[in-house]
Chain A
Amino acid sequence: MTQSSLYSRRDTPFSLHEINTQKASDQQLLEVSSELGLCLNLQEMKQVQAYFQTQNRNPTDVELQTIAQTWSEHCYHKTFKGKIRIDGKEINSLFKTYIAKATHEINPRWCVSVFEDNAGIISFDRGYAIAAKVETHNHPSAVEPFGGAATGVGGVIRDVLGVWADPIACTDVLGFGPLDYDYNKLPAGVKHPKYVYMGVTAGIGAYGNNMGIPTVNGAIYFDETYTGNVVVYCGCIGLLPLCKFRKNAQAGHVIVVAGGKTGRDGIHGVTFASAELTEKSEEVSRPAVQIADPIEEEKLKRALMEIRDRELASATTDLGGGGMSSAVGETAERFGCGATVDLSKVPLKYAGLAPWEIYVSESQERMLLTVPLENLEQVLAIFEKEDVEATAVGKLTRERRLQLSFEGITVADIEMQFLFKPPESMKTATYPAVSLEEPEFPEPTNLTETLLQLLSAPNIASKESVVRTYDHEVKGNTALKPLHGKYAGPNDASIIKPLDNSWKGVAISCGMNPNYGKIDAYWMAAAAIDEAVRNNLAVGGRRIALLDNFVWGNPEKPERLGSLVRACEACYDIATAFRTPFISGKDSLYNESPMGPVTPTLLITAVGIVPDIRSAVSMDLKTPGNLLYLVGNTYPELGGSEYYKLKGFLGKSVPKTRATQARKTYYALTKAMGEGIVKSCHDLSEGGLAVAAAEMAFAGGYGLEMDLRAVPSKLIARDDFLLFSESNSRFLVEVAEKDREEFEKLMKGKVHAEIGKVTKNTRLIIQGLKRPAVVDAPIADLRASWKRTLSSGV
């Protein structure tokens, strides 16, 4: 069969093609997959071929595209749901075996909906629940940084709208290549990190600010491997009255598409997400990046909230990855229905779109609703009032088929059962041992200088120049801000007080340690969970729920998949030990570029409840004369640390998480906070003890005298290791002299020690193991070093 006879144009007044799969060879099937941008492998193409053989006909382009979108990694999570062979054993679904299993075993009463909806839902207060979702938007941001990041924010906000929640806060965690990257070393098609950084941060700010949702938590991380693969995590937290949560669509309900018009922007976004970036991505995939219009989404949100409050619709979901194809299909599947849709009714930006383009377009700011016929008029009137276009395009049917038509002609007719049964993937994973060494180097004589350098290290330095471009106070409910007080100290988490008639707050924090993953993906994942949890605890968060977001390289490559398995094992182990369930998560795989794969990166977002925001704790030193305690043990764990990085090493001694022990400490510390005797608290992370102490001092405007001889440690005989080890599960805690006894009593049996005192003298002075004052610097100098690196906003 020749190439040309593979496709035949149907005799219709619009563009519609039939693909002659019946007679196609394997080679030709793969060609079709590649030419139509389906990103389906041979096994999948053969299943398609077999299905249409039983139907005795060839598929249309609409059908093939629909199948490709539904089966894409982005929509179906083949890797996480499929089988994996590793070390002679077989894992049947990473998701079920580790992530969901942890949640099911912990099984807290307060989880309302996990992994089922567009966002995880946990109960809150006075009949309200909190919804949370984090997404990635890496590929689009690599091609078009501003638009990619902005639509990432828009998309995750719609996920929260998709569970009828009112978005109350956004988060963003970003990974870039080094900003001083040598231009001459950039391969063709890779944009300079500085350009990407400026575009992405501007895009995130623009969307959140325009929609009036405070961006309250985040992180910016720099790593060589992010040069070719920018990492953009966008998160959203929402609030919903549980009694208004409607997911009860049935056959006969009308399918309404509301919001922006549909165009050619965002075609093949999800299949693009399952491909590696190449030199040609710019050219080939530009249409995969959507165009953002936050004002449209703001209006859409208003209308949706009114429809929710008046209980007029039976379900809603966002049009995100896969566009209508995934929204219509998944809605029908979820409610055990089929669907008929007239694609010619969908409002278009411009004429001339082929039916398949309409169906898979990922144009932004669109939501799908199912509405009982008797409410349709009211629903459409609400949209009209808000100047939002809304159109009834089809309905749910009892018959389990997906039937699409255009101008009266059937363009797709597939059984739901086939559509939602992609062939199970079987992948192979290996986890080869890496040979790493612990570096040997003499202890620097001037540790003050080292501390100043660390404070200026891009991963530690103040991100104020970016954070201030995000409105973190709109809605007037930000009770603990990302930048604290006069000196803009880095709070460990932000707290939102969402209800006027309740003092309860929502603490939002995150943890991410990609550098540890270069040594061991298991301990990287463990550290990310521990960091997210301890950041949350540090401000007074309790009853913590987790969100997991994986950014990995190509899972077809066994060693990439191997490290993913390792990370998932840690997720299960640590989450169950902490009793912190996962409520939502997402994976973004195939992050590879001509510069190689992204370093395996797991972002953990933690959502905690603060029983009363009046007892929230910030990280700045409060009163001279107060005592400073170090909680938790310090181990010689500098592998992957910022200190080693500064010295040009990676090392081997990656920080481990001793979760059972840590959990007991966390309980005790939370109790002390509840008693109101914790004046300030800061978690120890990148840069260890010295950096955390410096931050507390310059955020509070007071000095600190500390003694390393008092630090509880295991086998450390060097001042620099004590100062900069990144052992997990540690905090610095400020306690008033008068509360010493009570604090000690509460912390009994948990590793802790009084290591210093807050001083009026505005210097940080640290006594070494043998040498006096191994660190001695005015806090103003420390603050200046910390603020310098990213101060100009680049």
Chain B
Amino acid sequence: MKREEIKVCVMRVGGTNCDAETQRAFQELGVQAETLHLNELIKRRNLLDYQVLVFPGGFSFGDYVRAGVILARWLSAELGKELKTFIEENRPILGICNGFQVLVEYGLLPGFEGVSAYPEATLATNIPQGYNCRWIHLKHENKGKCIFTSKIPTGKVLHIPVAHSEGRFLFPKEKEQQLLDKLYENDMMVLRYCNENGEYAEGSYPTNPNGSFHDIAGICNKDGTIFGLMPHPERALYWWQQPDWTRREQMPQYGDGKLFFESLIDYLAKKF
């Protein structure tokens, strides 16, 4: 498939607010990206016209009840069928920040045995508590499964911002170790918080900005086609979005965020 034929659906509902910059990131790389309200998708029933589905950041439906949960339930009720086909055809789904919360609430991530009926993990309120907007470092952990990071060498340290108040990745306490092992066994671990030298945060704030278990910042499903992350790659796309660009003599044209979109497009161009 040619790059310019690829169609990305950036889905929004009331409270989604990172759709424009997410759409822009895809367009910057030469693919077609459209922002569609869920109401429109339900009306048109054309989800399968798109090769990629993206849940951008924001506060879908106000994040009332729990972050992402209302959208997840609404989706499952209204678009469950199409979504099932979408996933079975291994079409990629990306969830950024609130989108990650939606994927977890839907049961798509981690999705050890496919879509789970109940969430198998959660993105709990930050420790320390409260909204936190800052640039952090991430270590790429994936060995090759995740199609969203295929162009990022394993072990590479990335610089990207986070901005959320519910991003503390947790497994049920009693199954914590077992599920963590499973993440590694299936190559589903993708991103972990670390310092600028690549040393894991080991839970220390603010290197790990939210108290996530095992410094987890992003995971994929066992097929590597569904990926959720708390940090915002779309805010680290251009050089001038970097927090320290005025210090550099020479900046690369793009930031680390671009690598995710680039990897995804690479996969699509080959697969479809």
Contact = CB atoms under 8 A, between A and B. Distances in A.
Given A386-B14, A620-B247, A622-B247, A472 B59 contact: no
User: Contact residue range for chain B?
Assistant: 20 to 34
A296 B17 CA distance: 13
B235 A473 contact: yes
B131 A471 contact: yes
Contact of B15 (A210, A485, A486, A617): A210
Interface stretch (B80-88, B182-190, B211-219, B236-244): B236-244
Contacts of A476: 18, 21, 24, 232, 234-235, 237, 241
A487 B237 CA distance: 22
A486 B206 CA distance: 12
B240 A614 contact: yes
Given A469-B130, A500-B24, A387 B246 contact: no
A298 B244 contact: no
Given A385-B40, A485-B244, A616-B246, A470 B15 contact: no
Contacts of A748: none
B21 A295 contact: no
A40 interface: no
Contacts of A483: 243
A740 interface: no
A473 B163 contact: yes
Nearest to B14: A299
A475 interface: yes
Nearest to A210: B59
Contacts of B246: 480, 484-485, 616-618, 620, 622, 680
Contacts of B16: 212
A295 B132 contact: no
A295 B15 contact: yes
A479 interface: yes
Interface string A458-469: 000000000111
Nearest to A387: B14
Nearest to B43: A385
26 contacts: A209-B163, A211-B17, A212-B59, A293-B62, A295-B59, A295-B61, A298-B17, A469-B131, A469-B132, A469-B133, A471-B133, A471-B163, A472-B133, A473-B133, A473-B232, A475-B18, A475-B20, A476-B234, A477-B21, A484-B244, A500-B24, A617-B246, A620-B246, A620-B247, A622-B246, A680-B246
A161 to B, nearest CB: 15
B243 A481 contact: yes
B2 interface: no
A364 interface: no
Contacts of B237: 476
Given A387-B14, A500-B24, A793 B39 contact: no
B20 to A, nearest CB: 7
A497 interface: yes
A138 interface: no
A497 B240 contact: yes
Contacts of A616: 246
Contact of B18 (A212, A293, A469): A212
A613 interface: yes
Interface in A20-62: none
B134 interface: yes
B58 A212 contact: yes
Closest 7 CB pairs of A and B: A212-B17, A476-B21, A618-B246, A485-B244, A295-B62, A295-B15, A299-B14
B132 A298 contact: no
Contacts of A394: none
B243 A484 contact: yes
B198 to A, nearest CB: 16
Max chain B C-beta neighbours (<10 A), residue from A205, A299, A468, A486: A468
Interface in B154-185: 161, 163
Contacts of B232: 473, 476
A390 to B, nearest CB: 15
A474 interface: yes
Nearest to B238: A476
B131 A485 contact: no
Given A209-B131, A468-B132, A473-B235, A479 B240 contact: yes
A700 B133 CA distance: 21
B22 to A, nearest CB: 9
B258 interface: no
A397 interface: no
A293 B161 CA distance: 26
A467 B131 CA distance: 10
Given A295-B62, A485-B244, A486-B244, A474 B132 contact: no
A682 to B, nearest CB: 13
B244 A474 contact: no
B143 interface: no
Given A295-B14, A470-B133, A471-B131, 14 more contacts: A294-B62, A295-B62, A298-B15, A385-B39, A385-B40, A387-B39, A468-B132, A468-B134, A473-B163, A474-B18, A475-B21, A476-B241, A479-B240, A700-B247
Interface in A715-735: none
A644 to B, nearest CB: 34
A274 interface: no
B23 to A, nearest CB: 11
Max chain B C-beta neighbours (<10 A), residue from A468, A469, A476: A476
Given A298-B14, A476-B235, A500-B24, A205 B131 contact: yes
Max chain A C-beta neighbours (<10 A), residue from B24, B57, B130: B130
B37 interface: yes
Given A473-B163, A474-B163, A468 B240 contact: no
Contacts of B37: 385-386
Contacts of A470: 131, 133
A478 interface: yes
Nearest to A503: B240
Nearest to A614: B240
Contacts of B62: 210, 293-295
A386 B13 CA distance: 8
A700 B244 CA distance: 10
A209 B74 CA distance: 23
Contacts of A467: 133
A474 B241 contact: no
Max chain A C-beta neighbours (<10 A), residue from B17, B61, B234, B241: B17
A473 B161 contact: yes
A620 B37 CA distance: 43
Interface string B51-67: 00000011101100000
Contacts of A478: 241
